[in-house]
Amino acid sequence: MKSEYGLIEYFSRVFKPLDKKLLLGPGDDCAVFDLGGKKALLLTTDEMVEGAHFLMRFSSPELIAAKLVRMNVSDIYSMGAAKPAACLVSSGLNGRLPRGWVERFARALKRESLKFGMSVAGGNLARARELHFSMTVIGFAEKKRIVRRTGASPGDLVYSLGTMGGSRAGLELLVKNLAGGKPGERLKNFFWRPPLFPREARLLSGFATSMLDNSDGLYKSLGLLSGLNGVKVRVELSERFADKALLSWCAETKKDWRKYALAGGEDYGLLFTVSPGNERRLKNTVPACYKVGEAEKGKGVFIEGYDGKIEAFEHF
Amino acid sequence: MKSEYGLIEYFSRVFKPLDKKLLLGPGDDCAVFDLGGKKALLLTTDEMVEGAHFLMRFSSPELIAAKLVRMNVSDIYSMGAAKPAACLVSSGLNGRLPRGWVERFARALKRESLKFGMSVAGGNLARARELHFSMTVIGFAEKKRIVRRTGASPGDLVYSLGTMGGSRAGLELLVKNLAGGKPGERLKNFFWRPPLFPREARLLSGFATSMLDNSDGLYKSLGLLSGLNGVKVRVELSERFADKALLSWCAETKKDWRKYALAGGEDYGLLFTVSPGNERRLKNTVPACYKVGEAEKGKGVFIEGYDGKIEAFEHF
């Protein structure tokens, strides 16, 4: 079988939309369907599978619901000025679940969805040996204010909102059943409840030239940005990339925070580009962002002064 | 864990929409989202899981794609005058798949989706030991022409489009690796490519009082109709319920076709109700339909002259 990226590239080509109303098909964070007038419908789906994304021994229905909602809603926000509206949830369940688990999951799903303005509109139940939870979210955006993954040019500056590597470190603690002290708690929280940036995404929709969520780790995400836009991305690593909890946990355990930040995955921060002329505007309107690097002519991702190995995160 | 129906009932209650734009939430064939103006957005999702819905030894990527599309699109059609518009596909895949399987699946998905006027707008890939394929379809309908599962009154006549039990018999042949001769071929085709009734559903949207697809077998589907509408459904069994292939296979193998028709499942025909005053109109506009029974005051489903056991189909 092809690699995940090989398959996604293949699918994007095979499914190349034939329908003119489909303004954007596979390959971006969301599909975009033209509703006529100013509005567009956004569609996205994401899934958590037992064994691949979580283990039952460190999960709870409340945590799975929290993450399932965030990982999907993140795709809506990363389209710019966009709002989630409703979701469908498809679950593969089995008899190994403790009594009351499914009911707790349902109540948590409702609660978590409401935090982002969504109702649970429907779903499906299937019998499965391996638990899995798939969500589809619809959202709405003004067509003019949608930011795609494409649109960056050489010379654009690459910025990030949200730190990197925290979720991966949290998962490591969970899998090894380690507490990790106070930073450990915070890292596990990055895994289960990654922070999202709806307000900032809306502000950025005025001038970001491209945007995606950082769900596959910085190195892979920048690889996508580079490939889709035909640019080379030069990265200057800085401790700003990592949350303080990651830095402190890495200092204590003698790990390299840069590996987590580069190869992490499941951080769901926003990666975006702006033209140099808009840097001042960016700093004024979205002060929490920080510079990751620059887009240049060429191709590939170059990490300045980093000669370590990047073991990219593989969901698949 | 509660039964599938217990859970669906629980979910419908927990997820009771808080959003006024959600005209219909969990509990019908589709969720209905108000787009303003005359149009509404329809949303539905359905899934096929290895072991629960199919076995690899009798499947192919082309057959799975064909059924996945039909079982989802069927939910759109059973809302009345409704059209599918786009779909998302979430797949749980593993390394046991033969070389080229995923690529064949993608091409088949595109082909099958186009037959129903849909583009594949996006999706997700996950790693899973157990294969699963989840699809979400969006469609559009005029609000006024949507037919819900509710709306039937005592006195209404219950009708069907499409025969029953064929898919279950086909699955039995597939699981047992039996050819079953010419009827066998036709029965297996009912399992993989159940016939759908978009044109008829559109015609019925003028006057059917309620409608659902018959995906869980007649007995369970009528149970839903009865429960949701607060009516008793009296059924008069007739050989018209069964396709000729099912009758001939049952005659040959000394099986009772009525068990397949009542408890079958995955037939995806339409069950609907009309007021007696509309029976002539029905026969003129949709001649392929046939009468299943009548709705009366009371509750439950009563099968006239049938004292056999009904082993209802359980997906779950």
Query: Is A1 in Cβ contact with B101 (below 8 Å)?
Result: yes
The architecture in CATH of the region B15-146 reads 2-Layer Sandwich (3.30)
DSSP state letters, B123-134:
EEEEE-SS-EEE
Query: Is A30 in Cβ contact with B120 (below 8 Å)?
Result: no
- B22 CB neighbours in chain A (<8 A) are 86, 119, 121
- Contact between residue B301 and residue B203 where contact means Cβ atoms under 8 Å apart: no
What's the CATH superfamily of A4-146?
PurM-like, N-terminal domain (3.30.1330.10)
Residue with tokens 């949350």: A243
Query: Is A31 in Cβ contact with B35 (below 8 Å)?
Result: no
Query: Is B120 in Cβ contact with A26 (below 8 Å)?
Result: yes
Across A50-173, the runs of DSSP E, i.e. the strands, are 80-93, 119-127, 132-146, 157-161
Distance CA A177, CA A1 (A): 33
pLDDT at position B316 is 42
- B138 CB neighbours in chain A (<8 A) are 33, 41, 43, 138
Query: Is B136 in Cβ contact with A1 (below 8 Å)?
Result: no
Tokens of A33: 């369907």
Facing residue for B119 by CB, picked from A10, A19, A120 = A19
pLDDT at position A315 is 47
Tokens of A213: 């969520």
* Residue type (1 letter), B119: S
Averaged pLDDT, A200-223: 95
Query: Is B2 in Cβ contact with A122 (below 8 Å)?
Result: no
Question: How many Å lie between the alpha carbon of B141 and the closest alpha carbon of chain A?
Answer: 13
| pLDDT 10s digits, B172-215 | 999 999 999 999 999 999 999 999 999 999 999 999 999 999 99
Tokens of A3: 């690699």
pLDDT at position A316 is 42
ipTM above 0.85? yes
What confidence tier does B315 reach under pLDDT thresholds 50, 70, 90? Answer: very low
Q: How distant is the alpha carbon of residue A150 from its chain centre? A: 16
| pLDDT 10s digits, A21-69 | 999 999 899 999 999 999 999 999 999 999 999 999 999 999 999 999 9
Which among B209, B169, B226, B201 has a CA at the least distance from the CA of B5? B226
Q: To probe the interface with A, which of B43, B99, B313 has the most A CB atoms within 10 Å?
A: B43
pLDDT at position A312 is 58
H or E, element range at B121: strand B119-127
Count of positions (residues) in chain B: 316
- Contact between residue B198 and residue B70 where contact means Cβ atoms under 8 Å apart: no
pLDDT over 90 (residue A306): no
Distance CA B252, CA A76 (A): 56
pLDDT over 50 (residue A234): yes
Relative to beta strand A119-127, strand A80-93 is parallel
Averaged pLDDT, B231-258: 96
Tokens of A253: 């355990």
- A124 CB neighbours in chain B (<8 A) are 45-47, 134
Tokens of B292: 């299943």
Q: Is B290 helix (H, G, I), strand (E, B) or coil?
A: strand
| pLDDT 10s digits, A258-303 | 999 999 999 999 999 999 999 999 999 999 999 999 999 999 999 9
Query: Is A121 in Cβ contact with B33 (below 8 Å)?
Result: yes
Facing residue for B126 by CB, picked from A11, A49, A88 = A49
H or E, element range at A97: none
| pLDDT 10s digits, A174-194 | 999 999 999 999 999 999 999
The domain spans of chain B are: 15-146, 157-303
The two domains A4-146 and A157-303 share their CATH topology (first three levels equal) = no
What confidence tier does A7 reach under pLDDT thresholds 50, 70, 90? Answer: confident
Q: To probe the interface with B, which of A10, A15, A113 has the most B CB atoms within 10 Å?
A: A15
Query: Is B90 in Cβ contact with A134 (below 8 Å)?
Result: yes
- B133 CB neighbours in chain A (<8 A) are none
Distance CA B36, CA A38 (A): 13
Specify the higher pLDDT residue, B316 or B234.
Answer: B234
pLDDT over 80 (residue B312): no
Q: Residue A229 — left, alpha, or beta (φ > 0 → left; ψ -120 to 50 → alpha)?
A: alpha
- CATH entry 3.40.50.980 includes domain B157-303: no
